[in-house]
Amino acid sequence: MATFEGDTDAFEDDEEFVVSSEPYLYEPEYTDEELIEMDAQRAERERAAAAAPAGAAAENRERTSGDWWCQCQKCVQMLTFDECFCCREWDLVIPQIQELELDTSFQDLDVSGSAPRDRAICITQHQDFPSLLNQGVLETFFSVDKIHLKKKTRPDGPNGQLSMLQYRLVAYRIVLEWGLKGNRRVLPSCVVTSIRNKYPSATGQYVGFREAQDALRFF
């Protein structure tokens, strides 16, 4: 998830959301306590990075120099260490991954044609995943009645549709809710890549983790 600046311009003037009391869903923004906690966590990461041995720093650099860390064969190299991780390292989707592992359609036979051999499995192959990225689902989620706006956010795309950025932001948020159950984590590279491929930026530039953070703030 890259760090270009131009991709969030459409949301810079957006309004705050007032949400329903249902837990975890549609959180509008960070609370003061969350911001303090995030600052503390950031400071701790910086201290840990400064104190890390040379080998650990080298591993961080190596993660951003290739995609060797990908186990699902769907990831691409990202710009930062935190973003360079695979869905198979995402502990919160273990149940969904296990469902795929039990699905015989995701198994190959070995060279003898007898014993099953596991194929590389990605969370984006889960039967629920395509529905999460469906255009109609994203548009409905964008205008869902459970979200009460102080000032209604408008679709920025042509003919009253969402812009590609808005589609991506809503998709990030839906996947975050589906996989993380309200927990804030960086999305795996394979998930981000799938969303970008379906709703690409016209310039090919993205703001990376900021997009997922915007999804948490605005939806």
Phi-psi region of 71 (alpha: psi -120 to 50; beta: other; left: phi over 0): alpha
**Average pLDDT value over all residues in the chain:** 69
Do the domain assignments include residue 188? yes
Residue 1 is assigned to a structural domain of this protein: no
Low-confidence ranges of the chain (pLDDT < 70): 1-61, 92, 104-119, 145-153, 155, 157-158, 160, 181-184, 207-219
- Residue 157 maps to a domain: yes
Phi, psi of 107 (to 5 degrees): -125, 145
The per-residue pLDDT for 80 is 83
Alpha helices in 52-85 (DSSP H): 54-63
Please report the pLDDT score of residue 75 as a whole number.
95
Residue 98, domain member (yes or no) = yes
pLDDT at residue 132, rounded to an integer: 94
* Domain membership of residue 177 as a residue range: 6-218
Q: Has residue 47 been placed in a domain?
A: yes
The pLDDT value given to residue 200: 94
How many domains does the chain fold into?
1
Instruction: Tell me whether residue 41 is in a domain.
Output: yes
Q: CA 163 from chain center: how many Å?
A: 18
